[in-house]
A and B are shown apart, each in its own frame.
Chain A
Amino acid sequence: MESLIMILIGVLVTVGTYLILSRNLIRVILGTAVLSHAVHLLILTMGGLKKGVVPLLSQSEGPFTDALPQALILTAIVISFATTAFLLVLAYRTYKTNGSDDLQELRGMSDE
């Protein structure tokens, strides 16, 4: 199971890298979103994909799953949610102000 998920993570990273290298701004943002999903899966897999019950000590008897990776992923998801939302708004404003969503045209001149 771990190997399968690792291959999936590899595919996601490939897709994310491909998207992030393109010139279109929206694709780049989607790329960062895909990359963050890949790393969340990685954290989950690194904790070990064991079968176990919810780690509520008083309610059930072991073996418990490791709750820490899930807590980490939840935090990471919230942060990547905030960052992606900010990026989307920023991209929209940039598109409105600069009139382009092509990163090649957003490079900027050195003599400004």
Chain B
Amino acid sequence: MKINDVILRTVVKGVVFIILTLGVYLFFSGHNAPGGGFIGGLVLGSGIVLLYITYDLETVHRKMPFDFKKVAGLGVLLATGSAIGAIFFDAPFLSQTDAYFTFPVIGEKHLTTVTIFEAGVALTVIGTLVTIILSISEDE
């Protein structure tokens, strides 16, 4: 039986962008406010899962041809890479640094290496979350 899911599809088209934007916002606000890689990653991941639920696996996979296991792997690599990078500067493992830079258009910005670490965490969370959901739902 085919379920009539017009409402779901229409709503999701709009809502998914809001969810993804919120995820990115949470990710960047994490430096000195509630948020961060883990929570941002969870929100982003749930947005992707919502897409998978609304449209079928093939459609989403055609537009987003990622192997989410590898996304998670890439995340772990980023996070451990930023942690181990400190060793090469003769600082203790996991040391992070930050600095202020001035850019032509957007003005002065605060850049930190923690962002790389957090990006790794976010990618890991997205990868793991989607892999879990897919591995349960795939064989049927």
Contacts and interface: CB of A to CB of B under 8 A. Distances in A.
- Interface size for chain B: under 10, 10 to 19, 20 to 34, or 35 or more residues? under 10
A26 to B, nearest CB: 13
A89 interface: yes
B38 A74 contact: yes
Interface string B5-40: 000000000000000000000000000100000100
A92 B38 contact: no
Interface string B29-60: 00010000010000000000000000000000
B136 A88 contact: yes
Interface residues of A, number: 9
B4 interface: no
B132 interface: yes
B135 interface: yes
Interface of B: 32, 38, 128, 132, 135-136
